[in-house]
Structure 1
Amino acid sequence: MNLAFLASHGGSAARHLTEACRRGELQAAPVALVSNNSRSPALAWAQAAGLRTAHLSSAKYPDPAELDAAILDFLQDAGADTLVLSGYMREIGPRVLSHFAGRLLNIHPSLLPRHGGRGMYGDRVHESVLAAGDTESGATVHLVTAGIDEGPMLAQARVPVLPGDTLDTLKARVQAVEGDLMLRAVQALAAQAAVRATP
């Protein structure tokens, strides 16, 4: 499995998975990272970590179809066969979606299908959980499809919503489980790929 990442900011999932690969916990090779943000910490980190990197955004490619094609060309050239969204704040184009169908993963900071869909990202998700009075939240790893947060769920981790929780305390509790949850989901995907590849 050759992993690539799309990131807009810190790229915590990319870092966690890359470290797991290098510790031997994940039988995969991290190969590339694309960011739509030239100043993202993820881009600087990936360059230092030896991944192939590219800044590809609507500033360079105002036509969404051209941006979609540029991202796919870069990822194919890097040899990526599995794509992980690591805090990527843009919609995925149809060519990338089609090429990586079944091998394109995202993590969402709630227990989908609750608090998902268009406009539900980052702090907005945790605010929605608190406003709803939910007693638990968590994170969900799912396959990415054309519908926002609608792809098949691969794994979930649950955390309690405690009395007196604020946006920051709930977010920290959810973020604490996200890295290992994504790792387990990618490990399972890698195991399935290995079984399919066995003659």
Structure 2
Amino acid sequence: MPVKKIAVLISGSGTNLQVIIDAILQKKLNAEIKIVISNNKDAYGLVRAEKQGIKNMFISTRDLTCEEYSEKLLEIFNKEEIDFVVLAGFLKILSKDLVMQYKNRIINIHPSLIPSFCGKGYYGIKVHEKAIEYGVKVTGATVHFVDENADTGPIIEQRAVDVDDFDTAKSLQQKVLVIEHEILVSSLKKLCNDELKVIGRRVIKKGDKDEKSIDKRI
């Protein structure tokens, strides 16, 4: 099976990027990171990429509409012959045109159990602050395909953690980060091995014995 070419988009420290880099080095992923792109010139994730000799660049969002920014990204993806795009803490919405051209080929990691605590304004520590404020007993992380809206694409994988009585937003963030890393690699592995199929809003494993019956029900 050909090695999949992926682009990773970041806005911050790049811990999820590092997990992908490590998984590739350990030969857990049938993938190669062709390029890392950030909308933040000070993102440490760019340093992580540089250390590994991975092509990386900062593209400013200043004076660019969502459509113009996405068009720049699309040009790069086409030039690098990108198979899949990973949004690893990328704090910018992509245009509908880009998402449609890469339908079911862009994935995002979100630090909650979607559809809880997600959508516009829910990112970083804010997600965990809201979970603590609401008093939930369970939260987690979600990997999903990206569509034209924020955090609404088909869900690939989710995992939960308990919220303890004395958890703070910070301590909860650290607990969730552990499973974020695990399900990001797990989901990306399935994607790069061509194991996933999307039926309506359901993401299933190709060849599943119930695949045909799911198709009919949807």
One-letter amino acid matched to 1:26: L
Q: Runs of 5+ in structure 2 lacking a partner?
A: 197-204, 207-218
Q: 1:6 aligns with which of 9, 15, 18?
A: 9
Which residue matches 2:209? none
Please state whether the residue corresponding to 1:116 is helix, strand or coil. Answer: coil
Once the two structures are TM-superposed, the CA of residue 193 in structure 1 deviates from its matched residue by 5.7
Please state whether the residue corresponding to 1:130 is helix, strand or coil. Answer: helix
CA distance in 2, matches of 1:19, 1:42: 14
Which residue matches 2:129? 127
Please state whether the residue corresponding to 2:35 is helix, strand or coil. Answer: strand
Q: 2:82 aligns with which of 80, 83, 86?
A: 80
Please state whether the residue corresponding to 1:192 is helix, strand or coil. Answer: coil
Q: Structure 1 residues 95 and 43, CA, compared in 2 at 3 Å: closer, same or farther?
A: farther
Q: 2:25 aligns with which of 10, 22, 27?
A: 22
* Matches for 1:49-198 after TM superposition, within 5 Å: 49-59=52-62, 62-192=64-194
Q: Is the 8 A contact 2:66 2:93 kept in 1?
A: no
One-letter amino acid matched to 1:24: K
Structure 2-normalised TM-score?
0.84
CA distance in 2, matches of 1:178, 1:48: 23
The alignment covers a number of residue pairs equal to 195
Please state whether the residue corresponding to 2:108 is helix, strand or coil. Answer: strand
Q: Structure 1 residues 50 and 57, CA, compared in 2 at 3 Å: closer, same or farther?
A: same
CA distance in 2, matches of 1:5, 1:113: 24
Amino-acid identity (%): 28
Post-superposition Cα deviations, 1:121-177, rounded to whole Å, max 9, x if no partner, equal 111110111111111111000001012111000001110000111111111100111
CA distance in 1, matches of 2:48, 2:89: 14
Post-superposition Cα deviations, 1:95-140, rounded to whole Å, max 9, x if no partner, equal 3212221010001101111111111111111011111111111100
Once the two structures are TM-superposed, the CA of residue 66 in structure 1 deviates from its matched residue by 2.3
Query: Which structure features the higher share of helix residues?
Result: 1
Please state whether the residue corresponding to 1:138 is helix, strand or coil. Answer: strand
Q: Is the 8 A contact 2:96 2:147 kept in 1?
A: no
Post-superposition Cα deviations, 1:68-111, rounded to whole Å, max 9, x if no partner, equal 11111112212211000011111112332122210100011011
CA distance in 2, matches of 1:179, 1:99: 27
CA distance in 2, matches of 1:3, 1:41: 19
Once the two structures are TM-superposed, the CA of residue 67 in structure 1 deviates from its matched residue by 1.6
Q: Which stretch shifts more, 90-99 or 115-124? A: 90-99
One-letter amino acid matched to 2:119: G
Once the two structures are TM-superposed, the CA of residue 62 in structure 1 deviates from its matched residue by 2.3
Q: Runs of 5+ in structure 1 lacking a partner?
A: none
CA distance in 1, matches of 2:34, 2:51: 13
Q: Is the 8 A contact 2:142 2:156 kept in 1?
A: yes
